[in-house]
Amino acid sequence: MDKRSRSERVVTMTKILCSNPYRLFSLGYFMEMFGTAKSTVSEDLAVVRTAMEDSDTGQVVTVAGAAGGVRYIPRLGKAAMAANLERLAQQLAVPERVIPGGYLYMADLICDPAVAAWIGEAFATVFANRVPDYVVTIETKGIPLALMTARALGVPMVVIRDEGKVTEGSAVSINYTSGSTRRIRTMALARRALPLGARVLLIDDFMKAGGTARGMQDLMAEFHAAVLGIGVLVSTTEPVRKMVEDYVSLLELAELDEQDRRVHLRPGRLVPAFARD
């Protein structure tokens, strides 16, 4: 019989639940793991639940019934969301990030696992009530953000390619217009990557005019998929009218002056009820 103390059990439970968002664990799973009674497991889970709620970092939800159990749902509070967005905006706003052509260098942060994980939890918080089957992105810089969003939502990720890959079999491809350059481009998705009629969430790193997001929507229509929402890390304030309407951006790029190397970012378009009150 496992003789670990309550503190050891609580730490282990927290680790298991946080490592497997949305996965349902039966109480019997923990009873067998620790060799304890159901009442003891329930008391331990109550400690975990309270700690999560007090720190505003997630929810531990109990599902009743014979097939029930407990699951962890990443859910950031408003204060944590605001503080992290402010910190991220400051990191992105340093003059050294302005590169020739008037672009903002973000790849190092996007590919930082800790930063990407937080961004994924932020998107999971914003879209918590949408219940997608898949998170979809387009190569390449959107992949880390989409992967972490998929992890936080407990669903698979699907990657749209710039062109079909022979190793992925037959694919559906479409032409779309880049909103900023007005160039005709191509995107493709393997037929086996996404079942018909899936519920999907679209995630990307950057949006200017929204041409790529519109192309992703059009490609999803070829799979009869329901697009539940579009999330981007950074959107620009100009043009005001995008090629898509229903999107969420964590940050908005209000100014990027290449000559003076001046950058200003601010909180983006978040749905009103993105976090618990």
Residue-wise pLDDT tens digits, 178-195: 866 678 999 999 999 999
Report how far Cα 38 is from the mean position of its chain's Cα atoms: 34
Q: What is the pLDDT of residue 271?
A: 54
Rounded-to-integer distance, Cα 193 and Cα 226, Å: 15
The reply to whether omega before 239 is within 30° of 0 (cis) is yes
Find tokens 């052509």 and name the residue. 101
Once rounded to an integer, what is the mean pLDDT over residues 62-80? 89
Once rounded to an integer, what is the mean pLDDT over residues 90-112? 94
Helical axes 78-92 vs 113-126, angle rounded to 10°: 130
Burial class (CB in 10 A: 0-12, 13-18, 19+), 209: buried
Q: Which residue spans of the chain are classified as CATH 3.40.50.2020?
A: 78-267
Residue-wise pLDDT tens digits, 145-157: 999 999 999 999 9
Once rounded to an integer, what is the mean pLDDT over residues 64-86? 90
State whether residue 48 is helix, strand or coil.
Answer: helix
Q: Assign 256 a pLDDT band (cuts: 50, 70, 90).
A: very high
Instruction: Tell which CATH classification among 1.10.10.10, 3.40.800.20, 3.40.50.720, 1.20.1090.10 matches the domain 6-74.
Output: 1.10.10.10
Using the predicted structure, report yes or no on whether residue 276 has a pLDDT greater than 60.
Answer: no
Rounded-to-integer distance, Cα 245 and Cα 251, Å: 16
Q: What is the pLDDT of residue 246?
A: 86
Q: What is the pLDDT of residue 194?
A: 97
Q: Which residue has the higher pLDDT, 199 or 100?
A: 199
Residue-wise pLDDT tens digits, 204-243: 999 999 999 999 999 999 999 999 999 999 999 999 899 9
Rounded-to-integer distance, Cα 236 and Cα 214, Å: 16
Q: Does domain 78-267 have CATH number 3.40.50.2020?
A: yes
pTM: 0.91
Q: What is the pLDDT of residue 179?
A: 64
Rounded-to-integer distance, Cα 198 and Cα 219, Å: 13
What single-letter DSSP state applies at residue 239?
S
Burial class (CB in 10 A: 0-12, 13-18, 19+), 12: middle
